[in-house]
Structure 1
C-alpha cells in the first residue's frame, strides 16, 4: 500500500480491565486519551509533552515509538521517519491502561505511517501478544466493552455496546501501583472451587452486560482470583467491594491491577451519594485522590488528518 501522504493524529482511550472476575479477558474503554501527532519528515523526532510524560524518553527508546516499530516488524517494512508528538490524559500506573493506550496508539500510528498494511484484527493480535493479554488493548482499540482471548491460534474478541444508562465512576488514588507488583502477590495455583466461581461469575457478567441486566452486576462482579489478594495493596478496596452498592453503585471492582477502583452506576440516578462515600473511604484510608464520572467510550482508537 502507499505510505500515508501527510500528517495525522491518533487518539487511543484509557481502559479498565477485569471488571471483577474477567481476569485478563474483559475490559471497557473510557474517554481519557493518549494522543499522537505524527508528521512525516526526513529524520525521526520524539517529543513527549505535558507533566505526565516529563520523565519519558525523548528518543527511539520511548515505549510508544517501540510500539510503532512492532507494526513495522509485523508488516515486514522499515518504519519511515517522522516527528511524533505525544500527550496523555491517562494517569500512569493507576490501573487505567496507560501502557495499553500507548501501545495501541503506537501500533496504529506505525500502521498508518506505513499505509495501513495491517488490518484491525492483526493490530489487535500484535498489541495483545506484546502486552501478554488482551483485556486492555482490545477496548482501547475498538471501544465499548470487549471480551477477548489470546491463544496460539490468535486473538479472538466480541465487542459489546454498553447497556443503556450504564455509567462509570472511578476513584483514582494519588499513588502508583505497578502491574508487576500487583501480579506478584497472586497465588500460583487456585482451588477448583475458586476456578468454578471465577468461570461462572465471568460468564454471568458477560451475559448481563450483553443484555443490559444492570441488576445482576453486583453479583456477577464478585471475584476470588485477584481482588482478594491485591486488597492489601489498595487501602479501602475491601470496603468499597463490600459496601459500595449501599451508596448507589451497581457493582464495584479493582480497575486492572489498581489502585483505581471502578464502580458502575445508573446514569439516570444522581451520583453525589456515591462520590461522598468514595471520598470518605479515601479520607479514612489516609489517602488523597479524585473521583470522576465517565461515560463508556464507544469510539476506540481514532485516526484523523492533522
Structure 2
C-alpha cells in the first residue's frame, strides 16, 4: 500500500496569474493498492458525491499516465481518497488529485520518474503549473512552462505569515471563471501587474509583509471575476480593515484568502460576517503556508 499526503494550494496570489502558487497545511490523502484485478475507488470527506468512482476519476487517470509512460501494468487497482480540500472552491483540489495519483503510481512502478518528470507530467495534465508545482514541491513557487519543461524557483514562506481562508458554500468551475476573463488587457494594466508581481515576489522572499497591500493588487483577473462571487469586493475590503496585509481570490475562486501576521481571529470573523451579509455562508480556516510539498507516508 502506498499513501501520499498532498497539500492544498492557492494560485495567483493576486497579480501572479498562472505563474505563482503556494502550498497550505491542509491536506488530501491518496492510498493506492495493487490488487488481483479490477478498479475500486473509495472517497471519504469532501467531494464524496461529486468525485467519479470509475475510470473518469482524476487520480486514476493521472496514475494511468504514469503507468503508460514507464511501461508498467498493474493487475488491478484499489484507490482510497481521504479529502479535506473542498472541490470546486479554488484550493487546488484537482491539482492535489493529479499529484497524489502520479506520485503513488510512480512509487508503485518502481520510482522510474524523477521529480522534474513528475512536475512536467502534472503540469501537462492540469494545463498549467501554478497549482501542481506547490502541491508537489511545497512553499511558494514561481513557475513557467517552456516547451514542456517547467522552470521554477521555490521561496520559503515567511515564518510569520498566516492565511485566513474563507470558503463560500457554492462551487465555481475553473471553466466558468476563465470565461469571465477578457481576451486582451490594456498595456497599462499589463505594466501594473508586472510591477506588482515583481514586488510581491521580492516581498515574500524578504519577509516584508508590510508591502503586500500594494504588491497583491491586480488588474488581470480578479475584477472580472468579482461578479461571479457575491460580496467579493466587500469581503476583501473588510479583511484589510481588520488588519489583513493583503487579500486575494484563491485560484479561480470562489475562496478568498487574507494574508496576515496578526488579528487572524478578527479577520476570520469579518470575512465570514461580510459574506453572510451578502447572502453567502462560508467556512473560515486559519492555516499556515506549507514549506514542504507532497509526502509519501508509507509504502508496504
* TM-score range for the pair, normalised by the shorter chain length: over 0.9
Corresponding position: 1:36 with 2:30? yes
Instruction: Look up the match of 2:55.
Output: 60
TM-score by length of 2: 0.95
Corresponding position: 1:140 with 2:135? yes
* Total equivalences in the alignment: 298
**Mapped partners of 2:143, 2:283: distance in 1:** 30
Long gaps (5+) in structure 2: none
**Mapped partners of 2:75, 2:152: distance in 1:** 31
Q: Secondary structure at the match of 2:33?
A: strand
Q: Judge conservation of contact 2:120–2:148 (CA < 8 Å) in 1.
A: no
Q: Secondary structure at the match of 1:299?
A: coil
Q: Secondary structure at the match of 2:260?
A: strand
**Mapped partners of 2:228, 2:40: distance in 1:** 35
Counterpart among 226, 234, 237 of residue 229 in structure 2: 234
Long gaps (5+) in structure 1: 1-6
Q: Which moved more, 1:13-22 or 1:59-68?
A: 59-68
Q: Judge conservation of contact 1:46–1:60 (CA < 8 Å) in 2.
A: no
Q: Judge conservation of contact 1:48–1:56 (CA < 8 Å) in 2.
A: no
Q: Judge conservation of contact 1:80–1:114 (CA < 8 Å) in 2.
A: no
Q: Which moved more, 1:68-77 or 1:287-296?
A: 68-77
Q: Which moved more, 1:77-86 or 1:272-281?
A: 77-86
Query: Over aligned residue pairs, what C-alpha RMSD do you find?
Result: 1.4
Instruction: Look up the match of 2:2.
Output: 8
Q: Judge conservation of contact 1:53–1:87 (CA < 8 Å) in 2.
A: no
Q: Secondary structure at the match of 1:12?
A: strand
Instruction: Look up the match of 1:45.
Output: 39
1:98-145 CA-to-partner distances (Å, cap 9, x unmatched) read 000001101111111111111011100001111111110001001111
Instruction: Look up the match of 1:287.
Output: 280
**Mapped partners of 1:17, 1:230: distance in 2:** 15
Corresponding position: 1:300 with 2:286? no
Q: Judge conservation of contact 2:66–2:102 (CA < 8 Å) in 1.
A: yes
TM-score by length of 1: 0.93
